[in-house]
Structure 1
Amino acid sequence: MNRFAQLKRLFIALALALLSLVVGTVGFMVIGQLNLRQAFYMTAITFSTTGFEEVKPLTPAGEIFTSFYILFNLFIFAYFLSVLSKYIFEGELQAIFKKYMSEKDLQKISNHVIVCGFGRNGSKACADLLANHEPVLVVEKDEQLLKTKSGFGEVTTTIVVGDATQDEVLKQAGIERAKAIITTLPKDADNVFVTLTARELNSSIQIIARASDKSTENKLYRAGANSVVMPDEIGGSHMANLVTRPVVIQFLEMLNGMGASKLVLEEIDFAEIRKQTEVVSIRELDIRNKTGVTVIGVKNNRNQIEISPSPDTQIGMEDVLILLGTEDQVKAFMRTFRKI
């Protein structure tokens, strides 16, 4: 709902008040045979129900006009006061102003992640993104869901209340300036629609979409999604692996921040590393001995990932290191190797 629709009743009340002033002034001039100043004075005291003394005795026609004009104004004045009190005393005007200021703030947001839907998957995605210091904006049409979500105030600070399948809502969320969008809406068709719209509005944005049905996966990729996640399928595989590979699952849970020992996966562009030469080997960097972090993978400039690279692997510009370690070890790596 735009601001004009929200202020519609106030505009109607103001228009009726203006119409009453015009009708009263013209009526007193024509029927009451008063000049413009006198007619406006009579209109003002009648409209405001103050009842000051008349400028001169009214003609019979003027008395009849005044009687009907007073009755007409009783309804207009009562409507005007009811609308004005609703906007001022019930906080509706303040809510409109707050929304206006929020929209102004939204225009300043850029390079952020949009999360469509604040259900189980969406709220978890928000929490993890903010834990990694990513700017997050939530799009959710169910205001009650936003209010009842426990700990919501700690999960995100920027909200757009609206239907994510609408172009205007995504534009309000700054889709043109966002770096990624995660769509976790309950219906697969809605996620396909959001994906199509997001790709059309921002050709370079990264799109991660949720799917419930396997047949929707290909549709989402065709619509422009970079990645498709199927929570039900992942959950089933996870439960099976708890039986067949329990130690592996324990390790993965450590990566997800569960348990006493928490591990962190991190990536860093080689261009961000403080170094002496343009090309250097992992052995020369001596990352593990200096920080305790292990380089478990290298993504090269051909978009290929080498798993468990040898110490003699050469890394250079456009390469990305994939690191594994505890939170303290990763922080030590950033202090030691990252450019300030």
Structure 2
Amino acid sequence: MKKRFNLTRLYIAVLLTMSSIVLGVLGFMGSADYGFVDALYMTAITISTVGYGTVGELGTSGKLFVAFYVLLNLGVAGYVVSVLTQYIFDGELRRMFKMYRTNQEISKFTGHVIVCGFGRNGSKAFHELRQGGTECVVVEQDENLLRIEVQNSGGGRVAAIFGDATDEAVLRQAGVLRARALITALPKDADNVFVALTAREMNPKLKIIARASSRSSVSKLHSAGADSVVMPDEIGGSHMANLVIRPEVIRFLDMISGLDPEKLRLEEMPVVEMRPALQGQSIRELDIRSRVGATVIALRLHHGELVVSPAADVRPAPGDVLLLLGTEAQIARLVEYYKR
């Protein structure tokens, strides 16, 4: 809100200056019977207080107008100087230029992910996405929160829009029409519902992931257009309980989620993105484990069925997706060897 208010003050300062010039020209033409050029000249020297002298006799009405005009411009000049001083010394011009550069950068994004809210959940989602090489745009109202989170995570430039994510204009500025997914992790469930509803209306093909605090909000978020709803509090409680019941399973899941130092990575590889020479081969012929070390843990068939631990003789079809598990190095070799 602060950015919008300061920008409004700048607009007001420009409007007052232009209005003062117009008033001066019309006033000198009417009160002193000057032509347009002479009236503009008198307006300029009066506003700038250079004191070059009048073009001709002003007369009584002209003198009264000048007296009024000088007093009026004292107030206008004071306001304009105060606004310019704030923009120069408080860094507003620098921030405006930075926002302009960010907007220009975002305007080139296509197929990116929008993260609404940069709290604990939003910042974690952002860092995971960026680590995976995905372009992201953050929508956050609190600039200080964003700066603190970025500093704590080791820095790096963030493409961010500072504004209310429930505002359609802000989502449009973030490139919602060109984005492939949106994550809304705002503190209030009602705001997440409104973001999901607005984003779905603007981009029917957008994949929307929403955060919920209350179970009663899950159905509302789905109705608003969210494809998936995540409840961090319930996930956390279940995680703690499973640490008691099945600790090794949870440790393995922590390795996949990145919470364990020995990090594993889940990766999906659509068959259509594989090298043409490899398409049509069976899982045995692909020999992924021997070549790169990663393991095929599931196969998502083109009609939606998920086959866990598919047989070695299965031949993935063009619309299928292989789900694989491996270390960062193994996944990197997988991408290098098997993808186009």
| TM-score normalised to structure 1 length | 0.88
Q: Tell me how far apart the structure 2 counterparts of residues 101 and 207 of structure 1 sit (CA, whole Å).
A: 27
Match of 2:22 among 19, 39, 43: 19
**What is aligned with 2:292?**
291
**What is aligned with 2:133?**
133
Structure (1 or 2) with the larger CA radius of gyration = 1
1:84 Cα deviation (Å)?
A: 4.0
Q: Tell me how far apart the structure 1 counterparts of residues 43 and 17 of structure 2 sit (CA, whole Å).
A: 16
Tell me the secondary structure at the aligned position of residue 170 of structure 1: helix
**What is aligned with 1:206?**
207
Q: Which amino acid aligns with 1:268?
A: M
Q: Deviations over 1:171-213 (max 9, x none)?
A: 1111111000111111111111111111111111111111111
Q: Which amino acid aligns with 2:22?
A: L
Q: Deviations over 1:202-247 (max 9, x none)?
A: 1111111111111111221222211111111111110000000011
**2:283 matched to 1:282?**
yes
**What is aligned with 2:122?**
122
Match of 2:10 among 7, 10, 17: 7
Number of aligned residue pairs: give it: 336
Q: Tell me how far apart the structure 2 counterparts of residues 284 and 39 of structure 1 sit (CA, whole Å).
A: 88
Q: Is the 8 A contact 1:298 1:306 kept in 2?
A: yes
Q: Tell me how far apart the structure 1 counterparts of residues 214 and 197 of structure 2 sit (CA, whole Å).
A: 18
Deviation larger for 321-330 or 66-75: 66-75
Q: Tell me how far apart the structure 2 counterparts of residues 256 and 37 of structure 1 sit (CA, whole Å).
A: 73
CA RMSD of aligned residues (A): 2.6
Q: Deviations over 1:256-289 (max 9, x none)?
A: 2233422111110112222536522111111111
Give the percent of matched residue pairs that are identical in Structure 1 and Structure 2.
47
Q: Is the 8 A contact 1:24 1:40 kept in 2?
A: no
Q: Deviations over 1:134-155 (max 9, x none)?
A: 1111111122211222336746
Q: Tell me how far apart the structure 2 counterparts of residues 38 and 315 of structure 1 sit (CA, whole Å).
A: 84
Q: Tell me how far apart the structure 2 counterparts of residues 197 and 273 of structure 1 sit (CA, whole Å).
A: 36
Q: Is the 8 A contact 1:136 1:156 kept in 2?
A: no
Q: Which amino acid aligns with 1:213?
A: S
Q: Tell me how far apart the structure 2 counterparts of residues 21 and 3 of structure 1 sit (CA, whole Å).
A: 27
Q: Is the 8 A contact 1:115 1:182 kept in 2?
A: yes
**What is aligned with 1:147?**
147
**What is aligned with 2:218?**
217
Q: Is the 8 A contact 1:28 1:42 kept in 2?
A: no
Q: Is the 8 A contact 1:184 1:210 kept in 2?
A: yes
Deviation larger for 219-228 or 154-163: 154-163
Q: Residues 6 and 138 from structure 1, CA distance in 2 versus in 1: closer, same or farther, beyond 3 angstroms? A: farther
Deviation larger for 11-20 or 106-115: 11-20
Q: Is the 8 A contact 2:271 2:279 kept in 1?
A: no
